[in-house]
Amino acid sequence: MRDPYEMLGVSRDASDEDIKRAYRALAKKYHPDLHPGDKEAERRMKEINDAYDRIKNDQTGDDGGAYQQQQSYGQQSYGNYGPFGGFYGNYRQNESQEPNEIRAARNYVNAGHYQEALHVLSTMEKRDADWYYLSALANYGAGNRVAALQHAQRAVQMDPEDPEYQQLLLQLQNGGGSMSKMGAISAWV
């Protein structure tokens, strides 16, 4: 089976948006409405669709056809979609009092939209340990390794008892190495 990235004409480290753009361009080119009765165009279209599905299934850790079934039972949880997977977890004890911005930032991080997460965080004046923790995750995802490390350190300083902060700091200090072992690694590393 050919490499799905190659079939869409993008590199393996292409961004999510580039993959979607490439898929759209090819789908427009080979759309059956433009080539009525053309078997070759039909075959190409099917190939492109399969390639896109395979990339998406890899990203979300689904194995092909399981997608529909999982959705219909509503068993998917938020954290499953981002590269941090169950890493951040879906729920924290102290979440109930958190401001809307923190919640939005977590949602963005879990979904892998780090720039948006950073933007939301930048609008906040109150910066507590959780703010620094989320900022560390968002920065790491956005490729800002040094800022990520600094913010993780700050989170641990502010709340030395929190095991999640410690774990993140440890992983960052190890160059993110153990992150991959936890299944948290993804296309962006």
Partner 1 sequence: MFGYVTANTALLSADELARWKGCYCGLCRSLASLGGRCRLTLTYDLAFLTLLLSSLYEPEECAAFARCPRHPFVKQPSWCNEATDYAAQMNVLLTREKLLDDWHDDRNPFARAAAAALRSPAEAAAKGFPRQAQAIRGALDKLYELEKSGAPDIDAAGACFGALLSELFVWKQDRWEPELRAIGDGLGRYIYTLDACLDLPADRKKGRYNPLLGLAPENAVTEHFRPALQMLLGGAAGGFERLPLVRDTRILRSVLYSGVWARMPTVEKKEAQP
Give me the residues that bind partner 1 (CB under 8 A), please.
16-17, 20-21, 23-24, 27, 49, 52, 56, 60, 67-68, 71-72, 74, 76-81, 90-91, 95-96, 100, 103-104, 107-108, 111-113, 116, 119-120, 123
Complex with partner 1: residue 104 or 158, whichever CB lies closer = 104
Q: How far apart are CA 71 and CA 53, in angstroms?
A: 16
- Least spacing, CB of residue 146 vs partner 1, in Å: 26
The DSSP output letter for 115 is H
For residues 156 and 167, what is the distance between their CA atoms, to the nearest angstrom? 10
Shortest distance, position 128 Cβ to partner 1, whole Å: 18
CA distance 172 to 3: 31
Residues 6+ apart with CB under 8 A from 174: none
Q: In the bound complex, what is the minimum distance in angstroms from residue 118's beta carbon to partner 1?
A: 12
DSSP state of 95: G
Residue closer to partner 1 (CB basis): 28 or 181: 28
- Residue 166 Cβ vs partner 1, minimum distance, rounded to whole Å: 23
Residue 82 or 149 having the CB closest to partner 1: 82
For partner 1, the closer of residues 108 and 154 by Cβ is 108
Identify whether the C-beta of residue 57 lies closer than 8 Å to the C-beta of residue 162: no
Nearer to partner 1, 24 or 43 (CB): 24
Min separation Cβ 170 and partner 1, Å: 27
What is residue 33's three-state secondary structure?
A: coil
Largest Cα separation within the chain, whole Å, is 67
CB 120 to partner 1: min, Å: 7
Contacts 24+ apart (CB under 8 A), 159-164: 159/129, 162/129, 162/133, 164/88, 164/89, 164/92, 164/133
Closer CB to partner 1, 21 or 127, in the complex: 21
Question: What is the DSSP secondary structure assignment for residue 87, as one 8-state letter?
Answer: G
For residues 188 and 138, is the Cβ–Cβ distance under 8 A? no
